Every structure is written in C-alpha cells, then in structure tokens.
Amino acid sequence: MVRSVFVLTPAYNAALTLPKVFGRIPPAVRERVARYVVVNDGSTDDTDGALGRLAREWPQLVALRHPVNRGYGATEKTLLDYAVAEGSDAAVLLHADGQYSPERMLDLIALFDRDEADIVQGSRMAGDGALRGGMPLYKFVANKSLTWMANLAFGLRLSEYYSGYMAYNRRALTTIPYGKLGDSFHFDLEMLVMGRVKGLRIRQVPIPTIYADEVSHLNPIRYGFDVLGVIAGYRRGRYHRL
C-alpha cells in the first residue's frame, strides 16, 4: 500500500469551483491523503481567498502561486516538483473545475496499492457513459478519432488519451523527464507518451463524464493540433531522445 499520497490541483480562476471540488472529497479519500497541494496559476479572481478559507478546514493544504499565468503544463510541473521534493509515493491530479470525480480517487490509487501500474488515467471513454454524461457529440467524435490515431502511433490500446485525471507513482515521477515537456494542455498526453517510451506500466480506470457549469480554459481546436504535433513528434523520435 502506498503511503504518502499527494493530491495536486492546478487552479486558474477557480474561486467558485475549488471549494465545491474539495467538498466532494470523501472521508475514505481524506484518510489516505498526506497533503493537498494547489497552485494558483496567476488567477485574476479570488482564488487566493478561496484557498485561504479552505486552509482553515484542511490543515494538510499547501497553497503555491505563480505570479502570472504560466499555463497548465507549467503548473503541473510545479506541482510534480513539489511532490517529488517532499517524498510523495503517489500523486493524483485533481482539477479545480469539477470535471473529474474526487469520489473515484481511490480507484486510481488502488492500482498503486496492488503494484499494478506506474501511471493511471481516469478514462471517460472506458465505459459507455460519455455521451450520457453530457460530452458534446463533436468532442466525443474527436476523442475517438484522435485516440485511434494515437493508439496506432504509440502501439497502445488505451480508451482515450485526453482525460486530465492522472495519477503517478514515485517511479514514474523520477523516471520521466517531465520538465522537458510542454507547458500547455497536452502535457498529460506527453506524460503518457513518455511512460510508453520509458516502459512504464500504464493503466486506466473508468470515471464518469461530468459536464455542468464548469468553465474550461482549453481551446479544442488548438488542442487537437497539439495532439497531432505530439503524434508527429513521437514518430520522429523526439520523445525517445529526452
């Protein structure tokens, strides 16, 4: 059983959603988590105030801040650097917008407890509930199409590559040179690619699809081109040289 579990949260203009996400973390998860780390990535709303109020209820909460917005991938690097430096045995990325279920966090951690994985991704496409959960049809079709292309390129059989509900054990965090990866939203995809290159065990668990009143800062068209760029980079050997 992994002991030092860190929950890592990138937060950008998340003053309204962040307290709701923490409020959904079940007691069984709280018993396993050693530290919650949130990076405020240059927010212009009251994310700092929300973190201050949360800290009064969550004594294990550590709040870090980027003075200016540096991007999703750069924020994850700050979070992962902290987890590695502080001796985390497992780190789970929990987004601040509410799209990924804190209630399913133990499903991801369980694969580390059984030593069955080095990287775990919560997949919305592993079951048949993506559309029922409100995923727009164009996103569903794009996800399926890009996943088919990625599986063909990487030689894997993942149900998707584009969920940000990611978890890493210490072996993954100390093996992957994540500091050399991109600073944008395709960072999680690049982590999966590097896991493939480094021969790490990648597993997925089904998670529900949630589309409600959250605000996404991802541009889907730009992200689609970023995905194609990662696939092309892999074919050219870029990630093998890192």
Q: What is the pLDDT of residue 118?
A: 98
The DSSP output letter for 42 is: S
- Rounded distance between C-alpha atoms, residue 88 and residue 7, angstroms: 10
Q: What structural domains and CATH numbers belong to the chain?
A: 5-241 (3.90.550.10)
The yes-or-no verdict on residue 215 having pLDDT over 80 is no
The yes-or-no verdict on residue 216 having pLDDT over 60 is no
- Residue 59 burial (CB count, 10 A): 8
Tokens describing residue 213: 């009143």
Rounded to two decimals, the pTM is 0.94
Q: What is the pLDDT of residue 107?
A: 97
Query: If you write DSSP's letter for every residue of 136-199 in order, what string do you get?
Result: -HHHHHHHHHHHHHHHHHHT---S-S----EEEEHHHHHHS-GGGS-SSTTHHHHHHHHHHHTT
Q: What are phi and psi of 81, to 5 degrees?
A: -60, -45
Q: What is the pLDDT of residue 126?
A: 84
- pLDDT tens-digit profile of 158-173? 999 999 999 999 999 9
Contact in structure between 31 and 45 (CB atoms under 8 Å): no
What is the rounded average pLDDT of the residues 199-205? 98
β-strand partners of 123: 206
What is the rounded average pLDDT of the residues 6-10? 98
- pLDDT tens-digit profile of 98-122? 999 999 999 999 999 999 999 999 9
Q: What is the pLDDT of residue 217?
A: 63
- Rounded distance between C-alpha atoms, residue 18 and residue 184, angstroms: 21
SS3 of 23, please? helix
